Structure 1
Amino acid sequence: DYVLKPFDAAVLRARVDVGIRVLELQGKLSRRVTELEEALANVKRLQGLLPICSYCKRVRDDGNYWKQVDMYIAEHTEAKLSHGFCPDCFEVHVRPQMDEAEAEADAAKVK
């Protein structure tokens, strides 16, 4: 931008204010672009291959550390996890524990 000579102080001040505002907006835009590029990199990483142990189901992160799947998801997404049991795991793992606890409680009542 430019100001014609002889310049008016009010016009000069207005031009300087506009220039300052343009620089502020360019800075905000630059920071936003950086944030979006980082977000895109995260999305691409999450859409790509995820190294996971076939046995324990832990996930290897970028630092070559192995983490539980729920911890990895919590650190790399905004997803909220709720834990439960699928029907098969309930029957194989949970029900036997419940039956055992119930049997122990019944045995304690008899004594």
Structure 2
Amino acid sequence: MIEPVTTTSCDNTESTVTGKSLATVPFQFVHLSTNHMANKIEDRFEANAELSGIIVLDDNGDLLGMISRKRFMELYSKPFRKDLYNKKPVKLLVKYGFDEPLCLDGTMGIEQAVQLALSRNPELVYEPVVVRDTIGHTFRLVEMHTLLMELAKEFEAQNEHLRDMLSRVRQLEGIISICMYCKKIRNDTQSWEQLEAYLSNHSEAQFSHGLCPECYESQMKELKQSKT
């Protein structure tokens, strides 16, 4: 049984982008049990040209391995390999013909998953990734190309957020009209509004209220005078 890599045990690699998890990524869902004959794999690949791999499960429904289309075709192109494996159980093909797949927990972030996938052996770096759904205890297959595309979307979303933040900051540049008495600010529509409201609408700033030492002394004096 292959245990999935989780977010907490992943070489201390931390995601720098807050975004979606692997559970939200488009996937393929094709399984075979270990008792099927290996020729079933060839049949599945021939029936579906878009299929990038097949997940192999043991009798308990746990992950035994993954057979990718690319490596399967490479293996079967060698002399006598097709005749050697076709009438044997899938588990023998997995055991002797394929490396252990990268299995990741569905709660892991996309950036972290890409980092782990790209750190594999160069021969395996673009192999599909197996993702475990922790709720239903099912296994899905995600193509490396899909992971990279989803990561690109996350970076674009982050860049869009940064551009929005920058545009808000730029709105505060230049000369701002402020009333010398009540301290209200004239906005873009030529209306006057409170300083706090203006800054909240044109930046990410939030406000809490307090008293500076000078105002505190002044207010205390006024309070004492009002009591006398």
Task: Give the corresponding residue for 1:14.
Answer: 128
Gapped regions of structure 1 (runs ≥ 5): 1-6, 104-111
1:82 has 2:218 as partner? no
What letter corresponds to residue 14 of structure 1 in structure 2?
Answer: P
| Percent identity of paired positions between Structure 1 and Structure 2 | 19
Q: How does 1:54-73 map to 2 (within 5 A)?
A: 54-73=180-199
TM superposition shift of 1:52? 1.6
- Tell which has more relative contact order, 1 or 2 (C-alpha 8 A, sep 6+): 2
More helix by share: 1
TM superposition shift of 1:31? 0.8
Contact 1:52 1:60 in 2 (8 A): yes
Task: Give the corresponding residue for 2:166.
Answer: 40
For 2:220 and 2:174, locate their aligned partners in 1 and report how far apart those are by CA, in whole Å.
34
Distance 1:11 1:48, change over 3 A: farther
What letter corresponds to residue 81 of structure 1 in structure 2?
Answer: S
For 2:152 and 2:212, locate their aligned partners in 1 and report how far apart those are by CA, in whole Å.
51
For 1:54 and 1:89, locate their aligned partners in 2 and report how far apart those are by CA, in whole Å.
22
User: How large is the Cα RMSD of the aligned pairs?
Assistant: 3.4
For 2:213 and 2:199, locate their aligned partners in 1 and report how far apart those are by CA, in whole Å.
19
More strand by share: 2
Contact 2:196 2:207 in 1 (8 A): no
What letter corresponds to residue 159 of structure 2 in structure 1?
Answer: V
Superimposed CA distance per residue, residues 14-66 of structure 1 (whole angstroms, 9 cap, x where no aligned partner): 39711111211111111111100011112222343333223321123345442
Contact 1:61 1:67 in 2 (8 A): yes
Distance 1:49 1:89, change over 3 A: farther
TM-score norm. by structure 2 comes to 0.33
Gapped regions of structure 2 (runs ≥ 5): 1-48, 54-67, 71-126, 130-141
Q: 1:27 aligns with which of 116, 141, 153?
A: 153
For 2:184 and 2:211, locate their aligned partners in 1 and report how far apart those are by CA, in whole Å.
18
TM superposition shift of 1:85? 4.8
Task: Give the corresponding residue for 2:222.
Answer: 96
